[in-house]
Structure 1
């Protein structure tokens, strides 16, 4: 897919109805030959809309006005390109825990959680947040994460987590102001509720920091998994991560993770982790598949806002 088509698709599939600012900006970039030519000078994996827009925001550039965005991007391209090359879309969205909890509830407790692509580790605290599934509230502390859940009953209990660890090529620290600034820049402009959520989740992580390891999802996963305590169910999980991994490494990860004890939860687009015989998604905002041990269970939105269960309905 061309870079222009990528931006047009991002506008239609991800930003429409979610971020008018990014929908408008994505369409403008898709038709902006100058910016498209500049993007062609960085590796293909570094041309994605979320990454470009976040880098511009981090550097103090405007995203609300496409013309001003164009001028800033052209004038500051060297700095922007340098950041694109070394940064990744490490969106650390706690809201994704809302689609993990219905799966985690079904596993033998207590749990040892290991997140691949953990960023700052905010996804490692599903037991510390509160969830709203329709009119059902689960939990009493932390930020409230709302999820429109259909096809199954809301979970009745929070998971019991006794160990939490994360693996990332570039782990971020909630105690580092620059790392928090990058996570803030990755949040879409209108989503002030997500900024509030980021601050609340970061406070939880700062009070009880997760065990984060800088490493590769193939080379370093077995040693980290071996640190999980005996008597706890190991759960390796990843959400919207594998699309950034080259195909060969992704296949190596798939082979490796199947050899580990415990369970694996994946929340990825079906083009990244494919499955046969998937039912159609109820709408085009549900573009991730939630799976347990390679068995697809539900469709989900990218930030955990909705989940449509289709396996073993109860």
Structure 2
């Protein structure tokens, strides 16, 4: 039996289970700091009680951890960080209540590109849950795809942007071209301005501590989006999707896509959106965790439950890393 620290107490509460799962599946192997924080909080009755003061949607680890960093809780082992976290809880709570996990990872374009490159162009891109819109510029970024044998396939835009995305490719051919994008737009409950320094600071806080490559890429991608901002409508995706889609040029192929978005919808709203996508003429790219569409669970191996499933028009085509680091064709 593992000894718990003096402040620790085993808990089976939903919040404790969420943090325990986050540490074991999502953070493990990707962020030692967040894995330690998650495991420590899962057995910390006092911290769990504070987190449970938040509305349910605000208790998620990514949001609370980012708020802790904004409140300048040091990124050190939980036993050394907890006193500061508890002392600064009022600030952490305020940040969590006024912000959302709008992680805008431009590297997700690397797992969308193998499909985007196959769609007859020119393309009109409409992203739901667009945040600051960084995934709306797949044609402006450079890519380096590495296969099982170590061979690298490179794709570079006509004008260098400073954004270079590395992605491991399995069971699939690397895309041979960048898409021609003639229109881009988005929908988000709270659109973010890529030119706003406070927006950059919050998105930076959402990047996990050890992921310096993501931090560098974020800054470069924000500069791309700020130089040519895409219109992002504020509101519910189900309410706005039809009107937003109608704004796309008729002579372009409309692609509606989303990554790590539908998990925040109720099952009813998720099904409503799916029906809309089935009835539209647009190409639909969905890159979501397996819990969003339960029928996809059978294709994800037990040890890879943290993977996303990329689907085209509702049909799964690949397993992807949540931050765009890998693409495995099915």
TM-score by length of 2: 0.90
Q: Please, which of 264, 282, 301 is the counterpart of residue 284 of structure 2?
A: 264
Residues 1:234 and 2:254 aligned together? yes
Q: Which residue of 2 aligns with 1:137?
A: 154
Distance 1:297 1:75 in 2: 47
1:282 positional shift: 8.6
Q: Distance in 1 between matches of 2:328 and 2:99?
A: 32
In structure 2, the residue corresponding to 1:172 is in which secondary structure? coil
How much does 1:276 deviate?
5.2
Q: Superposition RMSD on alpha carbons, in Å?
A: 1.6
Distance of 1:273 and 1:119 partners within structure 2: 22
In structure 2, C-alpha distance between the alignment counterparts of 1:281 and 1:156, rounded to whole Å: 29
- CA distance in 2 between counterparts of 1:5 and 1:173 reads 35
- 1:156 equivalent to 2:176? Answer yes
Say whether 1:309 aligns with 2:326.
Answer: no
Q: 1:157 to 1:281 in 2, by over 3 A?
A: farther
- Counterpart CA distance in 1 for 2:55 and 2:292 is 19
Decide which of 118, 124, 132 is 1:120's aligned counterpart.
Answer: 132
Work out whether residues 26 and 306 of structure 2, in 8 Å CA contact, stay in contact via their aligned partners in 1: no
Q: Deviations over 1:93-151 (max 9, x none)?
A: 00100000001111111110010000000000000001111111111433111111111
Residue in 1 aligned with 2:64? 52
* Kept after mapping to 1: 8 A contact 2:296/2:309: no
Please give the alpha-carbon distance, in whole angstroms, between the structure 1 residues aligned to 2:164 and 2:177: 15
**How many equivalent pairs are there?**
310
- Provide the secondary structure at the position in 2 that maps to 1:258: helix
| Residue in 1 that maps onto 2:20 | 8
Displacement of 1:43 in angstroms is: 1.6
Q: Choose from 187, 212, 221 the match for 2:207.
A: 187
Q: Check whether the contact 2:130–2:188 (CA below 8 A) recurs between aligned residues.
A: yes
Is the Cα–Cα contact under 8 Å of residues 290 and 297 in structure 2 kept in the other structure? no
Counterpart of 1:249 in structure 2 is 269
Match for residue 291 of structure 1 among 308, 311, 314: 311
Q: Which runs of 5 or more structure 1 residues have no equivalent in the other structure?
A: none
